[in-house]
Structure 1
Amino acid sequence: MAATAADLAARETQCCGFFSFELHIADGRLALSVSTGPAHAEVLAALADRATALAGVRL
């Protein structure tokens, strides 16, 4: 799963260079953090809302 997340982050960086991605692996857990500057904060918030709706959980 870590390799898949890293590949996704690399591809998204090529597409959307205004996002920054950090992959964290600790205690057997994997997390992908996404950040951006103020100019694209609304875009990231909309994507997080969409992901939350699709997952049926609160992020």
Structure 2
Amino acid sequence: MGTKLERISERVAQNPKMVFTSLYHWIDEELLEAMSSRNEREKSDRRGQSNER
């Protein structure tokens, strides 16, 4: 997951005016699964924090 997003981030950092007409070719099943897992972990972390207060 990280390498694709890192490449996009690097390109934007090098040229902030760059416009992506399509990001579709960067997205695949592996990236979607990784982002879904990350979102679930973050939701779980937030629930845990709110329960501790």
TM-based fold match above 0.5: no
Larger-gyration structure (1/2)? 2
The TM-score bracket by the shorter chain reads 0.3 to 0.5
User: Which is strand-richer, 1 or 2?
Assistant: 1
TM-score where L is the length of structure 2: 0.37
